[in-house]
Structure 1
Amino acid sequence: MHPIHLLYRLAQTVRGVYWRVVRPKVYGAKLLVRNRQSEVLLIRHSYGRSDLYMLPGGGIKRGETALDAARRELREEVGCRAEELALLGKYLDTSKGARNHVSVFTATTHDQPQIDGREIVEATFFPVTDLPANASTASRRRVAEMLGEAEIDGRW
């Protein structure tokens, strides 16, 4: 394992303990990004549940809007520019202890994902009807909501 992956895993562990003890209110943004073939972009992290494909995204910085955070996270994580952004919904995720308020946006990109191999170890477009078996439950639910196959209920 690359040493930087160990640092990311350590930081994730420390954050997880902090979130379970303090239960802070945090804000994040995620994206359902589609390419020209209408495939959806999923990523795998080098830390946490590194076996799961998830939507790209991350935390909202102080003074940043959710929309700006979504654009920034996509650019930082996979080097893609987000176009045609629209809010899909706002969700509350309490599964890790924090009260994580997540804004999920739909977007398109004409770029090919480029990973740095540190935080993100894989970024791949998948047909919306053929997501990988190890796609996270939340990612599957957001795709179903985007396609109109599930109602948005605000729970992660």
Structure 2
Amino acid sequence: MGSRDAAERGLLKKLRARQVSVAEATSYLAQHELQGEAVDAILDAFLARGYLDDARLAEQIVHAGIDRKGQGRQAISQSLAKRGVPRDVADAALAELPDDDAERALEFARSKAGSMRGLERDVALRRLAGQLARRGYGGSAALSAARQALDEATRPSSRVRFE
């Protein structure tokens, strides 16, 4: 039987580095060979103190996915599942997302389209759609955003010049 104090200290140290899900905490505690009651007691104490909060973690993952990574709903959903966030909690966090995947896909595509100016259109379209797909944007949304962004990037600038 492992030391409960060592397991608690280790979990606290882990939490200082980053928020973990209840599933990740349970998995971590299982490595310390504690009895089921000891694991439950530690989890209950951490939940009561607010150290573990799957809803808050889900919110952080959703916002990081959108704001920092430019991900689509599908990729964010996969991140939530990978971190062990329960399905109902993940669905609730995703429901808070505005349904603007197409807009976020276009925004990302615009940011990348300029760097593809020298490429043949088909190659640029394929690469850009691939980048969007890897960020979790569905096939038709990815293609549509890639097409529009490339069209905008190749269109001559319509700025008015004052002399």
Q: TM-score range by the shorter chain?
A: under 0.3
Task: With the length of structure 2 as denominator, give the TM-score of the two structures.
Answer: 0.24
Structure possessing the higher radius of gyration over alpha carbons: 2
Relative contact order higher in (CA < 8 Å, ≥ 6 apart):
1
TM-score (norm 1): 0.25
Looking at secondary structure, tell me which structure has more helix per residue: 2
Larger strand fraction of residues: 1
